[in-house]
Structure 1
Amino acid sequence: MIRLLRTSFMSKFLFIFLLFIPLPMFLAKSYLSGKIIDVLVETNQNKNLQLTEQIAVNIKETMRKYIITAASVNFDSDGIHYEDTIIPAINRWHVSADEYEKLQLSDQINKRMNYFFNYTTDLLGVFFVFPDNRYYGYRNSIPNAPGEMRAMPWYGQLKRETPGSVMVVGKMRNTLSPLTHGQSAIGLAAFPPSPGNETIDYIYFALKPDWLDNAFTDMKLSHIGQVDIFTADQQSLTRSDRSDPMLDILKDTPVWKQNYGSFHYKRDGQDLLINYYTVDNTGWKVVSTISYGELTNSVQKVVGVTSIVLLAVTLLYLAVFVTSATTTVLVPIQRLIKQMRRVQQGNLKATLAINGKDEFAHLHGAFNSMVGEIKQLIRNIEDEKQEKLLMEIRALQYQINPHFLFNTLHSISVMARTYGIYNIQMMTESLTNLLHNTMDKGAHVISLAEEVQLLEHYTYLMAFRYQDKFEVQFDVPVEIRQAVILKFLLQPVLENAIIHASDDPFRKLNIRVGAYRIDNRLRIEISDDGQGMPAEQVERLLDSPKEKYDAFNKIGIYNVHRRLRLTYGEPYGVHISSQWGAGTTVTLELPYIEPTEDITHA
């Protein structure tokens, strides 16, 4: 096992395995856990911000009821039954010296007050305070001395307000009332309007502080964190401790400057998520506080357990994989390498056993097939060598003595001239020239002028065959006739035009052979005004080598195209432009070569 682990393949594979499986998994775990925590924090942030808003709305609606009730009491001084209203009755109670009358007025006032506050049990009492510090108390005795309350900031602010206004005083600590001594109350204050009020200085409404708990008792708050309510002057309405640590935390935060929002507080080991919302009609702040540690504790536990599980699974997978890779990968590869070395040494009998149908079985099968193909290729090479040798022998056996053939043709030409048969003489001389160039075993190239001369001889012979049914015009400038081209390059193209271009026996076919130079290229065009060809036939001429060769030396247009490509490469070759009923133009593109240049590929 240790030896296998030291092999290059296994060490590289283990490195790749650790790099692309466990490492990405742990990085992904860290990234995803961070994302989950971010999503959890964002979700709780949005949720608790909505909850603080709902609490603020509940407090606002509850306070609105109390403010409306306080305003109703404050303005209860006119009507059809003027004597039954509260403010006039309070004034009469204050100036009356008759105890019986005061008792009757008290009963009347209490009934009227019960009418206004029959919807709530959160009222501690209502206190009508007179300038002489006397007061009328509804339900309880006054919690604070009248003079003490006049010294508070809210009193001066109340006096500056419009008569009849109701002000939310906030939290006040009770100092007089024996029932609530030491406790606090949520206070409202009102300044009765002048008509109907002669003696009342201000009205103080005291509410139980725990009524704020009802604003969020029935709401599904998070099981972690807490909710606090603060007044605009930074007093806690939900905590009895005056040195509330939350006030220190919120001191330099945007809570007191903005109506709502969320922020992350981190200082002195405290890591908190704080959401806040403002109660519109009181200016109070509803603040929700959640510790990041409590918020992410469950996620951190899951991440820890997941890390341990991932590590255990990775180690188990690695152990199983190394064992499996050794038996299913390394051993077959080593066998394959061993047999390949035997083949390199010339032993073509080396084969591999094929077991199963997995990838290595296919690889072993491919190796065996490769060895068999190598054997077959070696046999084919030997056969080709033998066949080539036989062909050379046969070529020597069937070779015609060119001197005998040329002498015979010369004799025919002399006899034709002697008897005045000049047509036969010209045909014989043209045929002799064609055969002379065909049997020339020298260079594979000739000049363009020589190629044109051969075409003229060929045209002369074909004119006798087709009885002047075509005419060939040569347009080759003298200055480019010295260019060097491949031998017998144009004859197959001209022959194709003569034989196949026209199907009208009564119409003379016109053929033009033109050539011109473009920079370092030579372009030769053979065009006719025959019947043309459809596009499918044009494609077949260049794409398919299987043609019916009717040319003089059995070389078709495809062979011309292949000779140009094999000799000069791309983009040289044959291009055919034809339109049915409008003739055909065959263009040969090849490099312009001077007679002194060497043709390396010829």
Structure 2
Amino acid sequence: MFNKFSFSFRSKILLIVLLTGIIPISISGYLSNLKYNQLLEDQAHDITEQALKQGDGYISMYLSELEWLGTTIATNQLVLDTLNKSYSSIYDKVLDAGNIKQALSQYIYSRWDIERIDLFGFNGFSFTGGYSMYPIDESEPWVQEVMKRDGQPYWFFSENQDQDFIEYSRVISQNGQPLGIIRIMLPSYRLDTIIKKYQPNNTGFLFLIDKNHHSLIDSNEAVSEIIDRLDYSHNTKYQYVSLHGMEMLVTIHQLESVDWIFVSVIPREDILKGTGQIREYFLNTAIVILLITLTLVFWIIRYFTKPIKEVIGLMHDVENSNFTSRMTIRTNDDIGMLAKSYNRMVQRVRELIEKVYEQQRLKNEAQWSALQAQINPHFLYNTLDSINWMARMNNIPDISKMITALSMLFKLSLSKTDKYILIEEELMYIKYYAQIQEIRFSDRIHIYVDVPDSILKYKIPRFILQPLVENAVIHGLEPKEDPGEIHIKGGEYEDKVFFIIQDNGVGIPEERLKELLLPKPNDSDHSQHLGLNNVDERIKLLYGQEWGLKIDSIENMGTIVEVWLLKDFLKGGTSQ
């Protein structure tokens, strides 16, 4: 990663230390902050849930008192007698309504929270704080719901004359026979004074909704927006809702005694107020630790990299052809070993330069002799053989090996004049070519051949595979700094023989790959005719335009070239 930037060795180590310090601390701080926030949110939820349970218990007790009052009135003998009567005149109803009002006054005036108590008889009698000429409308939804409950209490929300009410209702019956309905009306704002005792904090708020998600108390714009955005199927302990650009922590609690739901809303920023100071403290501590660490590391690195700086200075002397400089050995550790290796290397380089100089002088003399004699190919082969023996005499095995491989290439070229050669002969070209390239690149390049014996006797046009291998070496592996490999695989499939040349070199850019096999104008340069385009054109001439090379390449990863040939054509040799 650092090779793309001109950093010194010291700078790279400092940068690594900085990264290895910042990254873990940052991740640790981030995860700690998340965990702390989670704990605060869980704690806020638990406190809110506890408060809501207390509120649930208080409201349940409060509603139980009103239900007991409703039951007391529903079983009052005067009420039962009134609802059992058959009336023949309005006067009797008015008279009984006065009696009922007097009997109920003790309940109404003894409680501050009851707005009104109504009685509706199925015999046509109606009492709504006094005589009412309007009988009960059994088609109203709340009446139908009360009748379904068969004497069980029913709590619901209603609006009457621009005022909201919480209403209790139940069926009045005697001996299993329904006689009418009692309704107790409570202004919703009076219940609001009760639940405000359990409000989460100063900035949060609490409200009640019924099973139809209708607000029973404090039906303002914010409450309506919260109700619309709540996910009532949420299975987690709490959920978040966005309100006017703020995240609100919402806790839902189902009341046990009635089909109502407590909804608590608290701004998230109020819960996490303390985390800002903790983050600032953590950040300041981390910065101080990093500064101390970097200071110590800088001085340590400076001490241990001083010999490396000395080596760099000596290497500059070598670049300027000064091979007499030597590094002083002060220790027996890795740096001392480096100094010894450097001194041996400089001495060896000096000897090799002198040796190469002498070899170059001999080579120039050999080239001059060859030009003087106007050598032909056979004479060149004999001369290469002579150079081979000279290399052996001078104990230069690499040059001897390269000369031998080159001589064998010349020998194979001179001994074969046919247009077609056996696959095994083409592979021999590649073998000797591979030897030369492996020596040239100091074993940085390796060429492997994996071709089955069953296809070695087929004939192919001369120089079909070797140019592809050469192209992979020159354009694929030579520009690459790391070691590279070329794999040559062959096989047969139905009536075809195929070869795959694969390298792990620098690859071909996508734009260049599209133009690679397009027809090109003739060029007098011989190497042009041994390239990919040349091989592709020769295959097309033999088989037709639908044949040719197939090239796949990924830049900086490698290239694959496929060659497909017909078996029957190959068996026919030059006659076809």
TM interval, shorter chain, is 0.3 to 0.5
Answer with 1 or 2: which has the greater Rg. Answer: 1
TM-score by length of 2: 0.44
TM-score by length of 1: 0.42
